[in-house]
Amino acid sequence: MENEPNFNDYVALIYNRFEAFVQASDSVRKMGHPYVYQQQSMIIFFMWMQFRRSFQFKTQWRWLKAHPEAWARLGWGRAPHRTTLLRRYKALYPLIHELVVFLAQDSAPLGEALSTQHLYEDKSLFKAQGTIWHQADRQQGRIPDKVRHLDTDATWSKSAYHGWVYGYGLHLTCNPVGFPVLIEVETAAFSEKEALIRKETTLLHTLRPDTFSGDNAYTSAKRIRAWARQDVALLTPAIRWQKGRYARAYHRFLQLSPIARRLRRRKTAIEPVFDLLAKLLGATGKQKQLTIQRLANVRTCIGLAVLSLQVAMIVNNIWNLPFRSISPIRAAFA
């Protein structure tokens, strides 16, 4: 459609916001000697390949060699070697992690749909590519003779929707309409509690939401009181925290009409986002099986999907398109 953004529109936004990100980030500015292939162009390239469902570095390299016109679009004088692609891909996650936070903070003034005033947290599991490693064998470090294509980085965890999953977990923070603001990608067994500890400093001192809602796994009386002193209300059902005057006061607080509405909205805020991310990853089958192995690669893969969704939502907001639609960005990068 003529009134939809094209590839160049998305690239221009990414380049523009990345430049602002570099200026705002001391760690990025001090990375040392400039890359031959700039970080922002690598992000765009790997997003492009992810939309094309091309995850093998040899395949990506061959595609680049066959499409020299792509070099001009990315500002490259030549195609990077496949070993360069592999190395840069594995190292990209920390940058994506920081960029996701920056885009959330930077975009908040653009409208209510991008606000970080009220946030939601949840975890979703993704099945590892290849065969599963049974826990008895895994604990002993034993790989059965007939097992092939095994991802030994993955771990086991149980999902309320899919049962036991051998793979990885995305710990996602988003706003009420599903705009992602913060991520942690780890193996499946990594707990919600540990992920929240990692996120705590960014949440309290960078994003500073009024409320932060999660399921019962995020309940901690100590954290609820500590965050309240930082003017952040941590909202959870607190099913197992019922006794004592602090618990009773907290449950009275949860029953207040605006607070109860915030807590009830958690599922509709965050669960549809996991479905969108699965579609962006092409992981729509049972247990959302990934198409790439090893933690370093999976972190970048899922991180790029979250970043793609962020960019899609920002552009949708600017162009007055349906906010959660991923069709325009998929068409642009096809």
Q: Is residue 36 part of a domain?
A: no
Size of the chain, expressed as the number of residues it contains: 334
Q: Is 75 left (phi over 0), alpha (psi -120 to 50) or beta?
A: left
Rounded mean pLDDT of 196-210? 97
Domain count, the chain: 1
Q: Rounded distance, CA 237 to CA 212, Å?
A: 12
Residue 215 lies in a domain: yes
Beta carbons within 10 angstroms of residue 94's beta carbon = 12
Q: Which pLDDT score is estimated for 28?
A: 61
In this predicted model, what pLDDT tens digit does every residue of 245-304 receive, in sequence order? 999 999 999 999 999 999 999 989 999 999 999 999 999 888 899 999 999 999 999 999
3-state secondary structure of 217: helix
Q: Name the β-bridge partners of 173.
A: 121, 182
Query: Is the residue at 103 inside a domain?
Result: no
DSSP 156-213: EEEETTTEEEEEEEEEEEE-TT--EEEEEEEETT--HHHHHHHHHHHIIIII--SEEE
Collapsing DSSP to helix, strand or coil, 122 comes out as strand
Cα–Cα dist 207/24, whole Å: 15
| Residue 191 lies inside a defined structural domain of this protein | yes
pTM of the model: 0.95
Residue 33 lies in a domain: no
Q: Stretch 167-187: mean pLDDT, rounded?
A: 98
Q: Tell me which residue of 244, 205, 204, 202 sits closest to 223, measured CA to CA.
A: 204
Average pLDDT of the residues in 229-251: 95
- Residues 70 and 290: their CA atoms lie apart, in Å, by 27
Q: Which two tokens stand for residue 273?
A: 């986002």
**Boundaries of domain holding 275:** 115-294
Give, in degrees to the nearest 5, the angle at Cα 90 between 88 and 93. 100
In a domain, 265, yes or no: yes
Whether 213 maps to a domain, the answer reads yes
Q: What angle do CA 167, 50, 1 make, to 5 degrees?
A: 135
What is the C-alpha separation between 306 and 36, in angstroms, rounded?
26
Is 323 part of a structural domain of the chain? no
pLDDT at 1 over 60: no
